[in-house]
C-alpha cells in the first residue's frame, strides 16, 4: 500500500493524490491534514472511492491517532525518520519528489513496493482520470450547477493573489483585461466565470463587465470548511469552461484544466 500525506492547498493535494493513485493498483491510504492551509475534512468535499481510503487528521488532536508520526512536525523530525524507515520500504518527502521531477519524473514510476510513504504537494504522475477520482459531494455539485446554470461554452478566468507573490508579479491584472477584451472582440456575447481570492479584483471586474462575468459569491478562506468548499466550487466551475485563462505559478489553474481536460492559457509578462 502507498500511504501519502498530501500538502499545501486544495489543488496541490489533489494532484499529489492523483499521482500516488497512478503508481499502484492497490488502495492508497490518504492521511488528510486539517491545518492552516486547508481546514476541512476530505469527505465534506468529495465522495468515497474504492481507489483510496482517507484518515482525517488534526494536529490539535494528535494524541488520538498515531499518524502524527507520519506528518510534518519539526519537534519530531528524527523520530519520524526512524518510524518511517521501519514501517516503509521507500520514503519520499517533498524535496525527494522535486529532485525526481527535475530529472524527468521517471525515478518513482519505476519503483515497485508494497510499502511506500510519500509526503508532498507536487505532481509526479498522472492518472488521466482525475475527474473520476475526485467526485464532489452532492451538495458541492449542486452549488456548481446553480452557478453555471445556463452559461454554457463559457471561458474560465483564474486570478491568483493573496500569498502567491509570483502570480501577483508575473500575472498582473492588465494582462487579464487585455485577454478579456480580446475574447469580447471575437465574440461580444461571450461569458466568463471568474475565480479569484482577491475580493477587490472581483468587485472591479464585475463592475466593469456586469453582463459578461459571473462568479461564486462564497468568501474564500483556507482556515474554514465553508471557505474550502467555496474554493472547490470555483475549481469545478473552472473545469467546466471551454478554456481557462490562468495565473502563473498556480496549481489551481493548471489542475482545474487537467480535471476538465481543457485548454489552459497562462498569462505571464
Residue-by-residue DSSP string for 228-247 = HHHHHHHHHHHHTSSEEEEE
Q: How far apart are CA 224 and CA 141, in angstroms?
A: 19
pLDDT over 80 at 58, yes or no? no
Q: How far apart are CA 46 and CA 25, in angstroms?
A: 21
Q: Find where cell 475526485 sits.
A: 134
Q: How far apart are CA 195 and CA 156, in angstroms?
A: 8
Q: Give Cβ neighbours of residue 156 (< 8 Å, ≥ 6 apart).
A: 192, 193, 195, 237, 238, 239, 240, 241, 243, 244, 245, 246, 256
Lowest mean pLDDT among 47-61, 106-120, 172-186, 191-205: 106-120
Confidence of residue 110 (pLDDT cuts 50, 70, 90): low
Whole-structure pTM over 0.85, yes or no?
Answer: yes
pLDDT in tens, 116-139: 999 999 998 888 899 999 999 999
Tell me what the pLDDT averaged over the chain comes to.
88
Q: What is the pLDDT at residue 64?
A: 44
Higher pLDDT, 115 or 17: 17
Q: Give Cβ neighbours of residue 235 (< 8 Å, ≥ 6 apart).
A: 10, 11, 195, 252, 255, 256, 259
Q: How far apart are CA 96 and CA 119, in angstroms?
A: 9
Cα–Cα distances in angstroms (integers) from residue 46 to residues 87, 94, 224, 250, in the given order: 29, 24, 16, 22
What is the residue extent of each domain of the chain? 2-133, 138-267
CATH 3.90.320.10 assigned to domain 138-267? The reply is no
Q: How far apart are CA 25 and CA 51, in angstroms?
A: 8
Lowest mean pLDDT among 26-40, 62-76, 85-99, 235-249: 62-76
Confidence of residue 217 (pLDDT cuts 50, 70, 90): confident
pLDDT in tens, 223-256: 899 999 999 999 999 999 999 999 999 999 999 9
Q: How far apart are CA 51 and CA 28, in angstroms?
A: 6
Q: For residue 55, with 0-12 CB atoms within 10 Å meaning exposed, 13-18 middle and 19 or more buried, which class applies? A: middle
Q: What is the pLDDT at residue 60?
A: 55
For residues 91-111, one letter each, b for 16 or more C-beta atoms within 10 angstroms of the residue's C-beta and e for the rest, the string is bbbbebbeebbeeebeebeee
Amino acid at each position: 500500500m502507498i500511504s501519502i500525506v498530501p500538502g499545501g492547498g486544495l489543488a496541490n493535494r489533489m494532484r499529489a493524490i492523483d499521482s500516488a493513485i497512478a503508481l499502484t493498483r492497490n488502495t492508497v491510504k490518504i492521511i488528510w491534514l486539517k491545518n492552516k492551509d486547508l481546514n476541512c475534512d476530505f469527505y465534506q468535499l468529495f465522495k468515497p472511492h474504492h481507489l483510496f481510503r482517507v484518515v482525517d487528521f488534526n494536529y490539535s488532536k494528535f494524541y488520538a491517532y498515531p499518524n502524527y508520526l507520519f506528518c510534518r512536525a519539526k519537534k519530531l523530525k528524527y523520530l519520524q525518520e526512524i518510524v518511517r524507515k521501519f514501517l516503509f520500504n521507500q520514503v519520499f518527502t517533498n524535496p525527494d519528489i522535486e529532485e525526481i521531477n527535475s530529472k524527468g519524473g521517471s525515478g518513482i514510476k519505476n519503483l515497485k513496493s508494497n510499502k511506500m510513504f510519500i509526503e508532498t504537494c507536487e505532481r509526479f504522475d498522472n492518472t488521466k482520470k482525475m475527474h473520476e477520482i475526485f467526485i464532489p459531494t452532492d451538495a458541492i455539485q449542486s452549488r456548481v450547477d446553480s452557478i453555471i446554470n445556463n452559461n454554457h461554452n463559457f471561458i474560465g478566468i483564474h486570478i491568483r493573489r493573496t500569498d502567491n507573490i509570483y502570480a501577483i508579479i508575473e500575472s498582473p491584472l492588465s494582462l487579464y483585461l487585455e485577454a478579456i477584451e480580446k475574447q469580447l472582440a471575437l465574440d461580444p456575447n461571450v461569458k466568463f466565470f471568474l475565480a479569484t481570492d482577491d475580493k477587490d479584483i472581483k468587485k472591479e471586474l464585475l463592475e466593469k463587465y456586469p453582463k459578461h462575468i459571473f462568479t461564486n459569491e462564497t468568501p474564500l478562506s483556507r482556515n474554514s470548511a465553508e471557505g474550502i468548499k467555496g474554493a472547490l466550487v470555483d475549481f469545478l466551475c473552472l473545469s467546466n469552461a471551454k478554456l481557462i485563462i490562468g495565473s502563473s505559478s498556480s496549481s489551481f489553474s493548471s489542475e482545474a484544466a487537467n480535471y476538465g481536460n481543457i485548454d489552459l492559457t497562462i498569462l505571464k509578462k
